[in-house]
Structure 1
Amino acid sequence: MEGLADGAGGGQSHLRWRQWALWTRTEAGGTSSKVVPEELDLVRSPGGAKLTRFLVDEGPASATEQVPQETWQGEVPQSVDALRAWLRSRTPGVDGPAGAAEAVHDLVTERVLSPGQRAAVLRLLAALPGMAVSGEVVDRAGRPGVAFSADSAAGGLPTRYTFIVDPVSGQLLGQEETLTESAGKLNVPVPSVIGYDAYLVAQQAP
C-alpha cells in the first residue's frame, strides 16, 4: 500500500459516504426501531466546508449546511503507535473494537488518507483484541472486499464490529455493527445489523 500514489495534499477535499443507523422510539405502546439510510457529501476548501445530506430511498430531498473545519489537528501519523496515540486524544476507547470503529469512522469522514496513513489504520485494526478475517465479501455498494471482524460489548450490547477493506488499495470500503446475542430493549431480531457505513468517495485536489 505504501507504494501507491499518494492522494493527500492540495487545498480541497471531497468525501462521500452512505450510512445506515438504527433509529429507535419508545412510546406508551412499546419500542419501535427502523434503519434510516442517508448519503452525505462533504467538500472542504480553504473557504470553508459544506456538508450535504441526502435521504436514501425517500425521494430527492436534501439539506445543505456549513460545517466547521476539521476537528482533527495536525497530520495523520503513518506509524501505528503514533496513530493510536493521536486517535486516543479524541477517542479514549480506541484500543477496543467499539472505540476503534468510532475513531476510524470519524477519521475517514473528515480526512483523505494517503497510502501510508491507510496502512497505519489497517495495522491498528489488525491489532485489536479478537480481530479475525471473516472472508471475502461484497459491500453495500457492490464492491469486492475482505472483511475483518471483532466482538465487543463495550457499547452496552454484544456487538460484532466488521471492517471491509479493498485488498488492492487498502482503502476502507465500509464498516458494520451487528448485534450478536441480545437486542436489549431494541425491537429488532438477533442477529441484526444496527449500523453500516459505505465510504464511496475520498478525493484530494492536486
Structure 2
Amino acid sequence: MFSIAAAVVVLLAVTIGILVIPRPAAVYASATPPLLQPTPINGTSEQLLMDLSSSLKDGETTSTVQIQSWALSMDVGNEGVIEKVSIEPEVRSVVHTSEGSRLEVRRGKPYDSDGRPIQVDGYQVGELIWARDYGPGEFPFMFGPAPVSPLEFGDYLRRPSGAAEWTTGEYIGGLTSVLNERRLTADQSKAALEFLAGLPELNVEGRVMDRLGRSGIAFATETRAPGEFVDRVIVSDEGLGILSVETTYVGHDRTDIQAPAVFSYFAWE
C-alpha cells in the first residue's frame, strides 16, 4: 500500500492554488468538515462584490502570511482501491523579511464532521511538521506584486500558466495561489474584488461564517470542473477582504466520500 497524500496536495496546487513543497506527514483525522450554511441575501455577485470592494478597510500590510488549511488525503492499495480517506489540517506561515523568507507547516486542530474539536492520541496541535528557510531573493514566488487595476488582474493571474483564458473557477484558484504567498494591500484587494465582480457564472450563495468564525459572503462557481467540484470564495462583509476559499466535491464517481463534501479549504488569518 502507498500513500498518495502528497500527490493530492500537488493536485491541489495545480487546480486550487497553494504553495507546496511536499513532505510526508502523519494522518490523524477521518471526517470531512461540515458544509457551510449560507443565509440568503439580495443582490447579484457584481453588485455585492463592488459594494464589498468599496467598504474595504485600510490596514497595515504585513509581510507574514498565515494560512489554516485542510485537504483530503487518501491511502490507495495495490489494486488501486481506496482503503482510507483522511484529513490533514495544517497551519502554514510564510514570513518575508529583507534577510530572506521562512516557510513553516504546523499541525492544525482536528475536528469531527459536525465541526467539533476532537482529541487524537499522539497528535499535538501546533507541532512543527517541517520548515524551510530561504535566503534573500530565493523564495519561489509564482507571482510578482499584484496590480491595483482590476483590468490587469486577469493577465496577472494567468501569467505563470501561460494560458490565454481561464474559467471563473481557475481564476479563483490563481487568486488562492497569490494569497498563499503574499499579503495584498488595500488597493490590491480592491482590484481583486472588482475583477471578481466582472467574472461570469459566479453565483451568490449568501452570508456565512467561515472556518475561523468570521462573517462573510460566499460566491461559488462550477466552471472549473462542472458536475465534479464547486469552487467558493468567501469575502468579509466587515471590510477585511478575501477570507477563505473552499472546494466542495459534488460528483458521483467516488466511493470514499459522499457528495456533497468539503474537499479542501484555505483560510487566511
Length-normalised TM-score, structure 1? 0.84
Q: Give % identity.
A: 23
Matched, 1:195 2:257: no
Aligned counterparts, 1:5-24, within 5 A: 5=58, 7-8=60-61, 13-24=63-74
**Of 42-51 and 122-131, the range deviating more from structure 2:** 122-131
| Within-5 A mapping of 1:1-206 | 1=53, 4-5=57-58, 7-8=60-61, 13-28=63-78, 30-31=81-82, 32-57=84-109, 58-59=123-124, 60-62=126-128, 63-67=130-134, 68-69=138-139, 71-72=141-142, 74-91=144-161, 92=163, 95-154=166-225, 158-182=228-252, 184-185=253-254, 187-200=256-269
Q: Which has the larger radius of gyration?
A: 2
The structure whose residues are more often strand, as a share, is 1
Query: Aligned to 2:239, what secondary structure does the other structure show?
Result: coil
Report the CA distance shift for 1:186/1:122 in structure 2 as closer, same or farther (over 3 A): farther
SS in structure 2 of the partner of residue 87 of structure 1: helix
- Cα deviations by residue, 1:56-112 (Å, 9 ceiling, x for unpaired): 233142022114425245431111221111111114387313321221111112221
Off by >4 Å, runs of 4+ in structure 1: none
Letter in 1 for 2:188: Q
- State the one-letter code of the partner of 2:63: S
Letter in 2 for 1:66: D
Does structure 1 retain, via aligned residues, the 8 Å contact 2:215–2:238? no
Q: Report how many residues are paired.
A: 195
Unmatched segments (≥5 aa) in structure 2? 1-52, 110-122
Cα deviation 1:7-48 (Å, max 9, x = unaligned): 34xxx6111010001112210462032221100011100111
Which moves more between the two structures, 79-88 or 122-131? 122-131
Distance 1:61-1:170 versus aligned 2 partners, 3 A rule: closer
In 2, the alpha carbon distance for the partners of 1:130 and 1:14 equals 33
More helix by share: 2
CA-based RMSD of the aligned residues comes to: 2.3
Contact 1:35–1:194 (Cα < 8 Å) also in 2: no
Give the whole-Å Cα distance in 2 for the aligned partners of 1:73 and 1:173: 20
